[in-house]
Amino acid sequence: MASAERRPLVVGNWKMNGLRKSSSELLKIIQDAVKLPRKVDLVVCPPATLIAHFAGLARGSRVRIGAQDCHPEPSGAYTGDIAAEMLADAGAILVILGHSERRSYHKETDAQLRTKTLAAWRAGLTAVVCVGETRAEREGRQTLDVVARQLNASLPEGARGENLVIAYEPVWAIGTGLTPSAGDVAEVHDLVRGKLVERYRGAGEAMRIVYGGSVKPANAGELLNAENVDGALIGGASLKADEFLAIAEAYK
């Protein structure tokens, strides 16, 4: 579970879903978030087309807005890409990087993720760096080796509790309804914590490690209260305000 020094963080990843009319779900999150414990940080990451609009709606509330990816460069001839500075300018405070869907569909590598993490920091954004194993790697008992390798290759120097969050997302659990046991999650989070402390010392203890992968209201209490789990990165369940908030309530 999250320590007293690490405030729980619940992030909703809307992926490629949502139009301006989806503002009703955000507004419900904003309205009902006042009922949650103040110790929980709430972030919604909509598609890039909605970041500025959502940031305006969320201004002055306890809900913050994030983004789902960024380009490593601050500007240039990169048609269709979005720089981290543009995301910050639109009102984002963090950006999800290295999600398994980006790694799979766009063939993103750990090296590319490292440059994007530096770009996020350059723009003043918190980087939520995703790591996780495939089902074949899990069945081959390679989970810890895979996660350790991804951490080593993806993370630059200069990480602090304020600018880096690690999201453990077992690829085989994302959107499948399958979830590892709380013990399995704790084992990986313990490894991640150890690697962060080994590399960044005291700063590694302050970094939040969140879990993602078919998190739902029904399993949130068990998963999010496991050792070294400092929050959640939620996919489909974050599209509905009631489900998103029910998951955040695991920290009451």
Q: Catalytic residues, which ones?
A: 99, 169
User: In Å, how far are 98, 189, 226 from 171, measured between CA atoms?
Assistant: 12, 15, 19
Q: Among residues 150, 90, 155, which one has the least CA distance to residue 121?
A: 155
- Strands, E assignment, 62-179: 63-65, 94-97, 126-131, 164-168
| CB-CB contact of 50 with 40 (8 Å) | no
Tallying the residues shown for the chain, one arrives at 252
The answer to whether 30 touches 64, Cβ cutoff 8 Å, is no
Tokens of 165: 């969050």
Reading the block at residue 173, the tokens are: 């659990």
Q: Residue 25 corresponds to which amino acid?
A: E
* Alpha carbon distance 88, 109 (integer Å): 24
Whole-number Å distance between alpha carbons of 115 and 101: 18
3-state SS, residue 18? coil
Q: What is the dihedral of CA 170, 96, 129, 250, to 10 degrees?
A: -60
- How far is it, in rounded angstroms, from Cα 3 to Cα 208? 10
